[in-house]
Amino acid sequence: FLYFIGPVPRNLSSIMAAPAAATGAAAPLRVGYIGLGLMGKHIARNILKAGFPVVVHNRSRGKVQELVAEGAEEGVSPADVAGRVDVVMTNLPDSPDVFDIVFGKDGCASAMKPGSIFVDNSTIKPATSREIAKRLAEIGVI
């Protein structure tokens, strides 16, 4: 499920261009990826290969170090990742894990800037997705 609070962008390129256009910078969006399991590691790697700067975080550092060796940067906590990027993406096992990564101690929400984007690729309860989207919208996160 994908939940947007506010107008739904017509295409991904409009989202990707928005921050650079607003600042006049030509720099690509910085992407944070949290959860480097079977899917997350490969998605983060492909984002990195596409030329985006990527900051990664995972409970086990071995998976982080593998991507750091390929050019990613290490984030020491979800908040550290969120404070350094324009887009935070997650791939986590279940609803409580996602909620904790976003709103728990050193969670993403504590460091996300208004206008930043949160994308969760986890298979979680729709009610959890709606609650996360609602609470992040209150601080200006898309």
pLDDT, tens only, 81-106: 999 999 999 999 999 999 999 999 99
Is residue 120 domain-resident?
yes
pTM over 0.75: yes
Full domain range(s) for residue 119 = 28-137
Of 27 and 84, more confident:
84
Is residue 80 domain-resident?
yes
Is residue 97 domain-resident?
yes
Cα separations in angstroms, 109 against 24, 26, 114, 141: 26, 26, 10, 9
Cα separations in angstroms, 131 against 1, 15, 28, 76, 98: 13, 22, 29, 26, 11
Is residue 5 domain-resident?
no
Is residue 13 domain-resident?
no
| C-alpha–C-alpha distance, residues 124 and 92, integer Å | 9
Is residue 15 domain-resident?
no
Tens digit of pLDDT for each residue in 46-59? 999 999 999 999 99
Of 23 and 96, more confident:
96
pLDDT of residue 26: 64
Tokens 């506010």 belong to which residue? 6
CATH number, position 128: 3.40.50.720
